[in-house]
Amino acid sequence: MKRHTVKELQNMLADQSISSEEIHQIYLNRIKSMNDSINAFISIESDEISLSSEQKNSEIKGIPYALKDIFCSEGDKTTCGSKMLANFVSPYDATVVRNLREKGTVILGKTNMDEFAMGSSNETSFYGNVLNPWDEERTPGGSSGGSAAAVAAGMAPIALGTDTGGSIRQPAALTGITGLKPTYGRCSRFGMIAFASSLDQAGILSISAEDAAIFLEHMAGYDQKDSTSSIEEVPKYTEFLNNDLTGKVVGLPREFFDGSLDSKYQTLVTESIHEYEKMGVQFKDISLPNIKYSVPTYYVVAPAECSSNLARYDGVRFGHRSSEGTDLDSFYKQTRKEGFGPEVKRRIITGTYVLSAGYYDAYYLKAQKVRQLINQDFLNAFEEVDVIMGPTTQQSAFKLGDKLDDPVSMYMNDIYTISSNLSGVPAISHPIGFVDNLPFGLQVIAPHFMEHDLLNIVHQYQMSTDWHLQTPNLCREFD
């Protein structure tokens, strides 16, 4: 079976050329035959589906999706890519999962990810790294690497991911698919295992922007169980997709075009800009002067929040429990030593350091102030332009193992994506071509709660190009 978009599956269901049970089975078979090569799924939910009458007769009823293993789904193992939660079974659904379940969607399985979403290559997963379907010696990116690889390889039509510093957009770029990080607070974080609470946001990895629009409508919205979720009304995203782009003004920040991008990637970015120009989009040079401080700011704020959030893993109520330790203190310490991998441990230590007495002002408070300046840069830019564009990453998929021992070099992967998390603005990555048979992505960033603009812009691009429809050779081996 060739790769299908959600839209195509909807049409097939509507004209009754296939049933939802058949769709489910086709994807399960595909996962079972491909997962040994890709390792995109940690667990497969192969129970027979029963679409009950309670589930509303929605436009996404019967559509299966892959779920990043960071989201709680009732009765399913939810590991967060960690040994710490190897045996954890969610007693409830995350709100976004519940929202989608009520509309009759079906979970195919829980996807592999960097441990606690900390990583940009999927190599920190306790369950082994995910392989990029375009080249099995390379990373699919991270931390939502399993979700990205699953969609790219046609093991799922669409997947949910989370994005704290680029964890949806970077793997989407590296696997040739579309990845949307909505505005902070657009989707509920309830039941989504916390990494950095002021940055985490649930989003979508899909073949097309149209598919992302279809799903986001049903996922997003205010949730009483997450006081940081927004009361802003959820637009009907699909109704904006066909808006004309004539007169849209796009900002090109000179900091994203400072000559550091290799010319082979720059060529693709320039070609995509020309494509947008043909649609009547106007481009304008802008500046985001503090954007260069995004990575250092993030690597204070995110580890600080991580060290607080991960304090809950103490071996007592759930999760890994050490059999060693004679007193409470040594029991906690040994449990956490055994349960966490190196990347998580280092971030806990770093976060504890920047929050500790004597360093709080110099690091944490300072970073929060610089975060404000970065946010202000975006607000100022959006006075002049509708959206901002630039590359999603500095390079296409790199080889597994290449950056694992050098955290700073790994962190630089997120140089273009991190600033949107710091500011909370929505951003999307979409494929714009290939270098040496590896996909490359363009990022579009919009003001808070302007996801409909992002989806409209990318949909228009995808209507006149077919980069998003290219499939890895590997897929054909399984057809």
Residue 352 near another protein by CB under 8 A: yes
- Report, in Å, the least distance between residue 426 CB and another protein: 11
Dist CA 199 CA 294 (whole Å)? 13
Of 89, 262, 399, 473, the one binding another protein (CB under 8 A) is 89
Position of tokens 């989806």? 455
Mapping DSSP to helix (H, G, I), strand (E, B) and coil, where does residue 64 land? strand
- Report, in Å, the least distance between residue 167 CB and another protein: 16
Of 334, 394, 465, 470, the one binding another protein (CB under 8 A) is 334
Task: Name the amino acid, one letter, at 395.
Answer: Q
Nearer to another protein by Cβ, of 147 and 167: the residue is: 167
- Report, in Å, the least distance between residue 280 CB and another protein: 31
Dist CA 384 CA 141 (whole Å)? 33
CB 207 within 8 A of CB 178: yes
Binding residues for another protein, how many (CB under 8 A)? 72
Enumerate residues 113-172 that contact another protein by CB under 8 A. none
Residue 77 near another protein by CB under 8 A: no
- Report, in Å, the least distance between residue 381 CB and another protein: 16
Enumerate residues 441-460 that contact another protein by CB under 8 A. 448
- Report, in Å, the least distance between residue 342 CB and another protein: 7
Nearer to another protein by Cβ, of 355 and 435: the residue is: 355
Q: Among 38, 247, 197, 48, which residue's Cα sits nearest to residue 127?
A: 38
Enumerate residues 314-333 that contact another protein by CB under 8 A. 314, 316-319, 321, 325-333
Of 25, 55, 346, 394, the one binding another protein (CB under 8 A) is 346
Contact stretch for another protein (CB under 8 A) within 8-16, 61-69, 156-164, 349-357: 349-357
Distance of CA 419 to the CA centre of its chain: 15
CB 428 within 8 A of CB 181: yes
Contact stretch for another protein (CB under 8 A) within 23-31, 85-93, 117-125, 206-214: 85-93
Exposed/middle/buried for residue 283 (C-beta within 10 Å: 0-12, 13-18, 19+): middle
Enumerate residues 162-191 that contact another protein by CB under 8 A. 184-185
Strands 282-286 and 249-253: parallel
Enumerate residues 410-429 that contact another protein by CB under 8 A. 411, 422-424
Contact stretch for another protein (CB under 8 A) within 138-146, 244-252, 338-346, 387-395: 338-346
Cα→Cα distances 146→172, 234, 235, 351, 452, Å: 11, 28, 29, 26, 26
Distance of CA 88 to the CA centre of its chain: 22
- Report, in Å, the least distance between residue 117 CB and another protein: 18
Residue 353 near another protein by CB under 8 A: yes
Active site residues: 68, 143, 167
Of 350, 413, 419, 429, the one binding another protein (CB under 8 A) is 350
CB 360 within 8 A of CB 368: no
Nearer to another protein by Cβ, of 87 and 437: the residue is: 87
Q: What are phi and psi of 422, to 5 degrees?
A: -65, -40
DSSP of 299-328: HHHHHHHHHHHGGG--SSSSS---S--SSH
Position of tokens 């169980």? 225
Nearer to another protein by Cβ, of 406 and 477: the residue is: 406
Of 71, 88, 240, 256, the one binding another protein (CB under 8 A) is 88
Enumerate residues 243-282 that contact another protein by CB under 8 A. none
Residue 340 near another protein by CB under 8 A: yes
Enumerate residues 378-407 that contact another protein by CB under 8 A. 406-407
What is the DSSP-derived secondary structure letter of residue 162? E
Nearer to another protein by Cβ, of 71 and 184: the residue is: 184
Q: What are phi and psi of 313, to 5 degrees?
A: -85, 90
Task: Name the amino acid, one letter, at 129.
Answer: N
CB 404 within 8 A of CB 410: yes
Enumerate residues 189-248 that contact another protein by CB under 8 A. 198-199, 224, 227-228, 230-231
Contact stretch for another protein (CB under 8 A) within 30-38, 168-176, 340-348, 457-465: 340-348
Helix, strand, coil tally for the chain in percent (to 5): 40, 15, 45
Nearer to another protein by Cβ, of 157 and 447: the residue is: 447
- Report, in Å, the least distance between residue 477 CB and another protein: 39
Enumerate residues 282-311 that contact another protein by CB under 8 A. 290, 293, 295-297, 299-300, 307, 311
Residue 434 near another protein by CB under 8 A: no
Sheet containing strand 249-253, edge to edge, reads 41-44, 106-111, 64-68, 158-162, 202-206, 178-181, 427-435, 438-445, 387-391, 249-253, 282-286
